[in-house]
Amino acid sequence: MKATACCAVTMDSIDDYIVYLRDVRRMSSNTVESYARDLAGLAAFAESRGLPVDTLQRPDLEAFVRHLMSSGLSPRSVARAVACVRGFYRFVAVERKQDESPADDLRPPRAWAALPRFLSLEEVDRLLAQPDAATPRGLRDKALIEVLYATGLRVTELTSLRAGDLNLEDGYLTCIGKGDKQRLVPLGKEAADWVRRYIRDGRPTLVRKASSTWLFVNARDGGPLSRVGFWKVLKEYGVKAGIPGDLSPHVLRHSFATHLLDRGA
């Protein structure tokens, strides 16, 4: 059985594990109660995602850990919950004579800290609310951030977009990625709507040369917005939104991937 495959876990398995901790491992009543709460939280998390607890796979367990880390629990409590989940799935695997479980090597917060930072949904909402859409520059910035968050494009891919790369009617854009490979990227309705508004009401004011084909142009001379220019834009709005730390495009890209996974993609 692969580590990413599901383990046939039932609520009876949770009860069996609690009995094992109490009667075989002889853990203290406080520890057993804490583990029972952790596993009840896991079951509730599975239900919130519309999944039976017996179908959880490795990506779901990693999403559960992120959920714990963003829920206000102390690092010690999250570490205990991770250890509990790892031990529980190991117990089930042994009971079923399986070599691996989906929780093998599931990492506690200390190891997870090395992963790229990501924003909470609330922080993303605050960030998206910062640009002043009543101005051409604000419309551009709003469209920029919406597109980055909706697509997960690299900064170079984003700033290299041309107006002709868009297919707003069908909801996708074309970009050139690594290795000069062309790819089609779904855009999403919200981002597409803001791009339409920017093209209609913002870009004509910013473009100084009628022949410019760049989608996102700078406010100085109407040329293409640079990577550094976008970093500055994002950092400015991050400060206004009260987001701690140095907000970078990579943080927003990682937020896109994280929230996509958390939605069950």
Taking only the tens place, the pLDDT of each residue in 184-242 is: 999 989 999 999 999 999 999 999 766 789 999 998 888 899 989 999 999 999 999 99
What pLDDT score does 139 carry? 97
Structure confidence at residue 6 as a pLDDT band (50, 70, 90): very low
Structure confidence at residue 5 as a pLDDT band (50, 70, 90): very low
Class of domain 121-262: mainly alpha
Q: Are the CB atoms for 236 and 219 separated by under 8 Å?
A: no
> Domain boundaries in the chain?
11-112, 121-262
CATH of 11-112, one of 3.30.420.40, 1.10.150.130, 1.10.510.10, 1.20.1730.10: 1.10.150.130
How many other β-carbons are positioned within 10 Å of the β-carbon of residue 7? Answer: 23
Verdict on whether the full-model pTM lies above 0.75: no
Q: Is the pLDDT of residue 127 over 90?
A: yes
Q: Is the pLDDT of residue 20 over 70?
A: yes
What pLDDT score does 27 carry? 82
What pLDDT score does 114 carry? 47
Question: Do 11-112 and 121-262 come out as alike in CATH topology?
Answer: no
Q: How far apart are the C-alpha atoms of 227 and 159, rounded to whole Å?
A: 7
**3-class DSSP state for residue 214?**
strand
Q: Which two tokens stand for residue 179?
A: 């290795």
Could you tell me what percent of the chain has a pLDDT over 70?
86
Radius of gyration of the chain (CA): 23
What pLDDT score does 159 carry? 93
What pLDDT score does 109 carry? 57
Q: What is the pLDDT of residues 149-181, one digit of tens each?
A: 989 898 889 999 999 999 999 999 999 877 778
Per-residue pLDDT, averaged over 61-90, amounts to 84
How many other β-carbons are positioned within 10 Å of the β-carbon of residue 200? Answer: 10
Q: Is the pLDDT of residue 140 over 90?
A: yes
What pLDDT score does 260 carry? 65
Per-residue pLDDT, averaged over 122-134, amounts to 93
Q: Is the pLDDT of residue 13 over 50?
A: yes
